[in-house]
Amino acid sequence: MTATRNAPPLQGKRLLLCIGGGIAAYKALELVRRLREAGAQVQVAMTAGAQQFVTPLSFQALSGLPVRTSLWDSAAEQAMGHIELARWADRVVIAPATADLLARLAHGLADDLVATLCLATTAPLTVAPAMNHRMWLHPATQANLQTLRQRGVQVIGPVDGPLAEGESGPGRLSEPEAIVAALVQAGEDIGDEAAPAFAPSGELLAGQRVLISAGPTYEDLDPVRYLGNRSSGKMGYALAAAAAAQGAQVVLVSGPVSLATPPGVERIDVRSAAQMREAVLAAMPADIYIGAAAVADYTPVKVAAQKIKKSGQSLTLEFVRTPDILAEVAAQTQSLKLVVGFAAETHDIERYARAKLTDKRLDLIIANQVGVADGGFESDQNAATAYWADGERVFPATSKTRLAEQLLELIAQRLQA
């Protein structure tokens, strides 16, 4: 985070808060107050429906900024055009997000100001849905939500409880406090500074197709169990964000993680090492391959068709080696200009890292120590040393976002070498 230790958690963040047309719109007034307390600048835009529940004037009084209500308001457009407003935002938040608004977003409509802003922005999007519980549970709404999630949209709530019509169920807007906490968390997960307004954007990788693997793999043992690992995917996602900010065309092949897709990145979700290999090879050719995933080394010889029942005091399962994706990619030299691997080691870091550099025929390896406090798999921080055939560079502990930016600068340099 760029904010200092005691600064409010959303200090300086520019939030575009879009209000949908539901009774929960009144709660968004309190949300504006809390977001401002948390240090954010809040620009409000309202749908026509939202204005039936709360007046723009109420939001204006709380946000301290004129409220946007229409695409066709020439005075407002002259002050700041809607495309400019979409670019201004570090994050777009929709609260409450109605079933109709979710459907319009899922289908990429631009039939009013709010939908147009959402389509025109490259900032990450957060939705806090609120609606009648039958509308929420309807397969159409759930399918739209699935589409939005796959696109990396952060979904907060709804929560279970009494609804406006005297019914009860999932459909209540999350409390403003919970929405603020989730936004702060989302910023920290991949570092909001990775979003375009904060990341050093440039042209270092313009025209390059960068393929990145990230996260863990899960090897299924039976229909309910799997063998996984503690990789959070944060490093790979930060690299994808930083590469996109440097003008690259980025494809991110991701194991199971709970991170939002960085803006401008094409994400392909996989589960097992075999699926990751298939997705990576299918996404080739690329100019640069970065293997940041923690790929399982072994997978069960067979996946039990039914849940493995307890019997006896011990259980023996047989595993086979997974294919080494990185080595296989590195062997395909036709299009690749640079192949980068990661080495997570607990000891003898340089020796093991250099051995991998040669054995897997890599151009660059990024080694870091795991099993230490404040670094490695689940941490937001990381320190690393990069090794290449005739050189090395130490990167002291910093946020994974910042480290990713520094690593990409090195990658761009090695590309020229």
* Residues forming the active site: 229
Question: Scanning residues 196 to 215, which ones bind ligand C5P (CB under 6 A)?
Answer: 213
Candidate segments 2-10, 251-259, 318-326, 370-378, binder of ligand C5P by CB under 6 A = 318-326
CA gap 204, 245 in Å, rounded: 9
Q: Residue 329 in contact with residue 290, Cβ under 8 Å?
A: no
Q: Burial code of 149-177, b = ≥16 C-beta within 10 A, e = fewer?
A: eeebbbbbbbeeeebeeeeeeebbbbbbe
386 binds ligand C5P per the rule CB under 6 A? no
Minimum distance, C-beta of residue 340 to ligand C5P, in the bound complex (Å): 8
Amino acid of residue 294: A
Q: 3-class SS at 368?
A: strand
Instruction: Please report whether residue 273 would count as binding ligand C5P according to CB under 6 A.
Output: yes
As a whole number of angstroms, the distance between CA 154 and CA 182 comes to 9
338-357: contacts with ligand C5P (CB under 6 A): 341-343, 356
Q: Which is nearer to ligand C5P, 195 or 273 (CB)?
A: 273
CB of 296 to ligand C5P, least distance (A): 7
User: Which of helix, strand or coil describes residue 178?
Assistant: helix
| Lookup: tokens for 192 | 């909001």
Size of the chain in residues: 417
Which residues in 288-307 contact ligand C5P (CB under 6 A)?
Answer: 291, 293, 295, 297
- In whole angstroms, the minimum distance from the beta carbon of 273 to ligand C5P comes to 6
Q: What are phi and psi of 23, to 5 degrees?
A: -60, -30
Q: Please, which residue, 198 or 342, has the CB nearer to ligand C5P?
A: 342
Distance, CA of 90 to CA of 75 (rounded, Å): 24
Site for ligand C5P (CB under 6 A): how many residues? 14
Report d(CA 274, CA 290) in Å as an integer. 17
**Phi and psi, residue 255, nearest 5°:** -75, 180
How many other C-beta atoms lie within 10 A of the C-beta of residue 108? 10
Decide whether 213 or 401 has the Cβ nearer to ligand C5P: 213
326 scored as a contact of ligand C5P (CB under 6 A):
yes
User: By C-beta, is 218 or 342 nearer to ligand C5P?
Assistant: 342
Q: What tokens does 157 get?
A: 């709530």
Q: How far is the CB of 350 from ligand C5P (least distance, A)?
A: 14
Cα–Cα distance between 349 and 206 in angstroms, integer? 33
The 216-255 site mask, x for binding ligand C5P (CB under 6 A), equals: ----------------------------------------
Q: Which is nearer to ligand C5P, 115 or 353 (CB)?
A: 353
What totals of helices (H) and strands (E) does the chain contain, helices first? 15, 19
- Of the residues 105, 325, 349, 412, which one makes contact with ligand C5P according to CB under 6 A: 325
Task: CB nearer to ligand C5P: give 97 or 349.
Answer: 349
In whole angstroms, the minimum distance from the beta carbon of 372 to ligand C5P comes to 17
Q: Which residues in this chain contact ligand C5P in the complex, by CB under 6 A?
A: 213, 273, 291, 293, 295, 297, 322, 324-326, 341-343, 356
